Amino acid sequence: MTIVAGFAVFFYQYTSAILINRETENLISQTSHMQVQTDQAIRTLDNLSINIGYSNVVMSNLEEYFSDDEPDLNQTRRLADLFVAINGTEVQADQINIFSFSGQQIGFGYVNNSGSIDLREQNWYKPTLELAGHKYIPAPYSTDLLSKSSKANIYYLSLYRTYYNRYGRQVGIIETMMRCNTVFKSIISLQNSDAGAPDIFVFNEKGTLIYPFKEDEQVLLHTPQQYLQLIESAAGSSATRNADTGSREIVTYQKSDYTSWTYVSVMPEHQVLSPVRRLTALLAAAILILLGLAAAMSYSMSYRLARPIRQLRSIIHKTELNTLDDQTKQPLDDGFEEVEELNQSFSDLRDKLKISMDQALYSKHQEMKARMVALQSQINPHFYYNSLSSIIILAENKQCEEVVKLSRNLNGIMRYISHGSSTVVTMREELDYLDKYLYCMKIRYQSSLSYRIDVSEELSEQAIPKLIIQPLVENALKYGTDCYPPWQITVTGRPLPSSTEDNSKPLNWLIEVTDSGPGFPEEIITTLNKLKMKSCCLMTWLEKSRLPVLDLK
């Protein structure tokens, strides 16, 4: 396997270098060919523009046409015939537009038109003037003005240059237009005919993307301007890593002396190396097959030795608290004497653990029961003193109905606390007790205290520990009245949404007790947050240990 792996690495490196060199030479040739073909199309527009600008017949007719405020039809026809003759039988430009500096315009080609135009508002006007008779080629643009049958937007490339009158003074601008599909015909043909063709970009001397000329195609190219950083001379090649995809690429470039445009061809390296990668994959598959055979032999040799240990490991992993009742010792297949002794020791340990857990759970249950009984007996005796004092005051004021109602509520409170040995009640019973308790406190504080109990009816029959809410309300009364009245106590409850659809699991619920008091000091809040974090860690440990946890929401 080592020999095959070493040969695969050597073969991949050696063949990859050959393929990359060949593909680089091919890309350089293609890029040069596309540059020549595109320059030829631009040169056609340029020559046509020069022929128009240096034709005395055309210039004299244009001067006569633009000098008249209302040119007649014969002048227009003469100009049209001249432009058709210059354009030739094989149309060199799709459209020829002439603009005078006075704002007049005339066009021939796909559309024959005339009119007026404000040249100063055109983005090509100032650059054309600065070149003083030399050609100016802006970026491609889309327009539907030359479409005869429909209003479809077609991309065009325009070439502008100023023309002069017989006195050598610039008097207007000539525009020759050609469809981008015609200008970049060689590039488009290559990419349409070959699915594995390289990505081709054309930049002008300012670094503006000329090709692809369609905006929707430019979006798919990510950031083609990254290739401009690789250009160091008029022609060359380089290897780089794409800034968007991170893949390696082969880049060749060619700069045109005629248009000053830079043609860049980009070929992903993985596309070039796909044949050698397929062969390398076959070698890798052979290595994996050999590795699989070696693994199968090793497994066959060690199976009999490892099987009893694996069985014992499985028994240990399956042991949980709910399986401790299973007293059956599982035999091991083909077990050795030492492993069988381990199995017997683990079985004895499981029996002892079951006895210890039963004792611990019973003790915990008795402890919880004792705490609940103690909690029932810890109701503040001052509550009864204050309630009796309120009864005395109401009796002295001849408020018999209030005395009766307060006495009944106090009687209900006493019965609820002392009645029965059960430590579990329904939510309805707990809230009924809580309402009586708050009524007694309302009688004491009168208008200074108001309270509201708003618990969802869905929780009415929910089983909860007895006196689980009253201590919270008592605490709220103790600390929530540590400010100027009025005071407000609110008890709300709602079911919590379940993360599963299993209706057999207990309902999760939330009870909130709020007061209008001053709240906790900042240092106490910090301490509570720390205790909350420790509690979360403890609950996580208990769940991982699979110990029983009572979750009181």
Confidence (pLDDT) at 504: 60
Stretch 48-64: mean pLDDT: 82
Provide DSSP, 214-277. Answer: SHHHHHHT--GGGGGGG--SSEEEEEEE-TTT--EEEEEEEE-TTT--EEEEEEEHHHHTHHHH
Alpha helices in 377-454 (DSSP H): 381-396, 400-418, 427-445
State the chain's mean pLDDT as an integer: 80
What's residue 218's pLDDT?
A: 61
Note the pLDDT of residue 325: 64
The predicted pLDDT at position 548 comes to 40
The one-character DSSP state at 486 is: P
With a CB cutoff of 8 Å and minimum separation 6, the contacts of 68 are 75
Give the per-residue pLDDT at 499.
63
The string of pLDDT tens digits covering residues 335-358 is 567 777 777 787 778 778 878 877
Phi, psi at 487, each rounded to 5° = -115, 145
What's the average model confidence in pLDDT over 250-265? 91
Asked whether 99 and 105 are in contact (CB, 8 A), the reply is: yes
pLDDT, tens only, 64-108: 777 776 766 776 777 777 777 777 666 788 888 999 888 888 888
Region of poorest pLDDT, from 23-32, 341-350, 390-399: 341-350
pLDDT bracket for residue 269 (50, 70, 90):
confident
Q: In this prediction, what percent of the chain has a pLDDT beyond 90?
A: 14
Percent of the chain whose pLDDT exceeds 70: 84
pLDDT tier, 9 (very low <50, low <70, confident <90, very high otherwise): confident
- Residue with the larger pLDDT of the pair 397 and 146: 397
pLDDT reported for residue 506: 65
What are 285-300's pLDDT values in tens digits?
888 888 889 888 888 7
- Asked if the model's pLDDT at residue 40 lies above 70, the reply is yes
Average pLDDT, stretch 238-244? 82
Each residue's pLDDT tens digit, 480-516: 888 888 999 999 999 988 766 666 666 788 999 999 8
Residue 388 confidence (pLDDT): 79
Residue matched to tokens 């653990």: 353
Rounded to whole angstroms, how far apart are CA atoms 263 and 199?
A: 11
**Per-residue model confidence as pLDDT tens digits over 193-208:** 887 888 889 999 888 8
User: Of the ranges 19-33, 323-337, 536-550, which is most confident?
Assistant: 19-33
pLDDT value of residue 351: 77
State pLDDT tens for residues 138-189.
999 888 877 766 667 789 999 999 988 878 888 899 999 999 999 999 988 8
Q: Is the pLDDT of residue 47 over 60?
A: yes
Average pLDDT score over residue span 227-236: 82
Asked whether residue 38 carries a pLDDT value surpassing 90, the answer given is yes
**Long-range pairs for 183-192 at CB < 8 Å and ≥24 separation?**
183/38, 183/41, 183/42, 183/157, 184/38, 184/41, 184/211, 184/213, 185/37, 185/41, 186/33, 186/34, 186/37, 186/38, 187/34, 187/38, 187/211, 190/30, 190/34
Angle of helix 337-376 relative to helix 274-318, nearest 10 degrees, comes to 70
Contact 509, 461 (CB under 8 A): no
d(C-alpha 478, C-alpha 424), whole Å: 26
Is residue 116 packed enough to be buried (19+ CB in 10 Å), middle (13-18) or exposed (0-12)? exposed
Task: Assess whether pLDDT exceeds 80 at residue 435.
Answer: yes
